[in-house]
Chain A
């Protein structure tokens, strides 16, 4: 109700300045309170606070933040390439991060120090070469240093880490461990760390059965594994067995060996077990809770990844919620009010997966609980990067549009958009649906402004749906006028050619705009629309023609009525004879007009 009053007062074009304004007693407190929480009108903190520099779409968001980052990278390049200008140290105490870094190799002779340097600078190929040179020169390399080298190779998969922000996601499983295995085989003595590096590298890069073979080698050499090795093997277990039962048996076997070798499990162990159980079908559902109880018995506090895996076990994508609806509620009850820190890389999956489940089960209450969990302590850090955030908020907003009353939807709309989330065109269509459901179509012109600002005005489906919603029924006069203005604005998009490719007319969009203009009694502009039909090769519908006839009758313009029949004939509409009859009966026609009509009648009769 508040929103509609604001909209209507805007169209009144009159600002009344009161002589005196009285404030509530607590107005100051209210104003201060509004500054405490997040400001939904501000853009993200990395951007400058200026309207020209504020991103309006998600593409702009990404572009501007990446542009700023690349500026920083350019500066870092100059700082590191010409370090002598940045050596003067004013800062007291010393600030190490503002000094230039040495990224180039300093030590160039064949020595252990050179190898250490290359490992620290993460130069994988150079490190391997240096190691080979050392061996050729006959210098023995210490076990710890060789283990460091193996760790480096296994982590980066035998190629140098890509210099830039996007990590090289394409893991090449074939050549990945050639160097690691080669160096491993050349080592005079190997300890658990060496085996560990190899096994973890193999699991990371997809060589699962090789990992298990290496583990067998480890045991054959009378060594024991450590917690990292077991975690890696557990996560690899579902890959090396086919049936659910076999997978679970392998995991249980590994856990038993872990106990025998007196290796204490950690949070990551249990998370690996649960993650593997997600791939064990119905067995997962029976075993999940015993695992969690075991975890709690050992005093290990679950992280968000644990709960994410539990939800993944019980809410499979294919099956709809059948009697498992309590799991989400139980999980949320258990974690409500708790603040989590990042302990497992899968922690960031929790929020978006929980919201997916709420959306699938259409449970708005749980969605609110998930959202309130986001406000507890440090949990906002676990929402993930901007891509994950957009998924989470997209699902949340989708659910809100489906389930909540339009006033609540609009309140959330102001809260979330665009400071946290840039909806895609599907999101805007959901919002239009929500407006339609609650009969608030009068807000469409306001939403259209937002659609334009967000850059969705080139999405034909969205625009056509909006137009058809506006054209469907007649509204009260003020709303109808605002619809007409909005429709003319949309029309401009189809006809302008200056900046970008204009949208192409369809029969639906043309008809919608025309009928909106007719209902707002903008007959002149409506007639111009009829001409556009011919240009765009589209045929007006019969209901549109009838609507035209009604409006012409209201203005009692016989000439226009005759023109209407002529236009209808030119499109060869089947309604033409009907129109002709009505015009002849309901209008006072001059002789000339009657003649025109009878000519038309005969020409259409002949063409039949």
Chain B
């Protein structure tokens, strides 16, 4: 899955909430023109009127608040999943932050497999990277602490900055409505 870091066409990562499973579907349709050379990689197109929107269906699919509200509701009824200052005027590093976020989301999705109740919220305060996660009470607490210690240490060494995880536990996924 190191493919995603080499992509030049990352425009559609920026203005929607990243979802690991939808990204993976797109990766399957990536066209490799020239492996090892410098070439254009293009993915299947995801139009902005279809990105991050769960369409109304039969009414049996539970969705969380975050999934139910569409991206135009960000800053109206929704907050941001990734908070950093590189999108401000005169700041740089937005692309790097986005790629880091993606990596972190995949790492945690896999490390805490089946335990995440909702998307991660990643906040950057100065040098500190705070990963806020909502988790289900699937594992006994000492296993969570093991995984938290492991993730914090691994990510700190990987990104050369202190990484902290703040977890809140839920009994089950909080359903906002059924679509």
Contacts and interface: CB of A to CB of B under 8 A. Distances in A.
Interface of A: 47-53, 55, 60, 63-65, 67-72, 74-76, 78-79, 85-86, 89-91, 95, 98-100
A103 to B, nearest CB: 14
Contacts of A53: 141, 144-145, 167, 169
B150 A64 contact: no
Contacts of A49: 166
Contacts of B58: none
Nearest to A48: B167
A49 B169 CA distance: 10
Given A48-B148, A52-B169, A53-B144, A72 B153 contact: yes
A67 B149 contact: yes
A606 B144 CA distance: 69
B23 interface: no
Interface stretch (B8-16, B71-79, B156-164): B156-164
Nearest to B144: A53
Nearest to A63: B142
A50 B132 CA distance: 12
A69 B150 CA distance: 8
A98 B169 contact: no
A78 B149 CA distance: 13
B157 A75 contact: yes
Contact of B148 (A60, A71, A95, A99): A71
Contacts of A72: 149-150, 152-153
A410 to B, nearest CB: 29
A550 B78 CA distance: 67
A48 B154 contact: no
Contacts of B159: 90
A284 B149 CA distance: 49
Most A C-beta atoms less than 10 A away, residue of B137, B144, B148, B150: B150
A55 B142 CA distance: 10
A78 B111 CA distance: 14
A68 B160 contact: no
Contacts of B166: 48-49
A64 B157 contact: no
B123 to A, nearest CB: 16
Contacts of A55: 141
A211 B142 CA distance: 47
Given A50-B168, A53-B144, A64-B141, A70 B149 contact: yes
The 5 closest A-B pairs by CB, nearest first: A71-B149, A75-B153, A71-B150, A68-B149, A91-B160
Given A76-B153, A86-B157, A95-B160, A52 B146 contact: no
Using C-beta atoms within 8 Å of the partner chain, give the interface range for chain B. 20 to 34
Most B C-beta atoms less than 10 A away, residue of A47, A60, A64, A89: A64
Nearest to A49: B166
A90 B156 CA distance: 12
B154 A68 contact: no
Contacts of A75: 149-154, 157
Contact of B143 (A51, A60, A67): A67
Contacts of A68: 145-146, 148-149
Given A51-B169, A70-B146, A75-B149, 19 more contacts: A48-B144, A48-B148, A48-B166, A49-B166, A50-B167, A50-B168, A53-B141, A53-B144, A53-B145, A65-B145, A71-B145, A71-B148, A72-B149, A72-B150, A72-B153, A75-B150, A75-B153, A98-B157, A100-B157
18 contacts: A47-B145, A53-B141, A53-B144, A53-B145, A60-B141, A64-B142, A70-B146, A71-B146, A71-B151, A72-B153, A75-B151, A76-B153, A79-B157, A90-B160, A90-B161, A91-B161, A95-B160, A100-B157
B4 interface: no
A52 B169 CA distance: 7
Contacts of A74: 146, 150
Nearest to A85: B158
A67 B145 contact: yes
Nearest to A53: B141
Contact of B160 (A71, A76, A98): A98
Contacts of A76: 153
A64 B140 CA distance: 10
A98 B127 CA distance: 13
Contacts of A100: 157
Given A52-B169, A90-B159, A64 B154 contact: no
Contacts of B141: 52-53, 55, 60, 64
B89 to A, nearest CB: 23
Given A50-B167, A67-B142, A68-B145, A89 B160 contact: yes
Given A50-B167, A90-B159, A67 B146 contact: yes
Nearest to A55: B141
B179 interface: no
A339 to B, nearest CB: 28
Most A C-beta atoms less than 10 A away, residue of B141, B152, B159, B169: B141
A147 B145 CA distance: 43
B134 to A, nearest CB: 10
B147 interface: yes
B46 to A, nearest CB: 30
A89 B158 CA distance: 9
A64 B145 contact: yes
A86 B153 contact: no
A165 to B, nearest CB: 13
A86 B150 CA distance: 15
Contacts of A99: 157
A85 B157 CA distance: 10
Contacts of B143: 67
Contacts of B157: 75, 79, 86, 98-100
A96 to B, nearest CB: 10
Interface string B116-139: 000000000000000000000100
B166 to A, nearest CB: 7
B21 to A, nearest CB: 25
A522 B115 CA distance: 46
A510 to B, nearest CB: 35
B174 to A, nearest CB: 15
A74 B145 CA distance: 12
Contacts of A89: 160
Nearest to A46: B145
A461 to B, nearest CB: 29
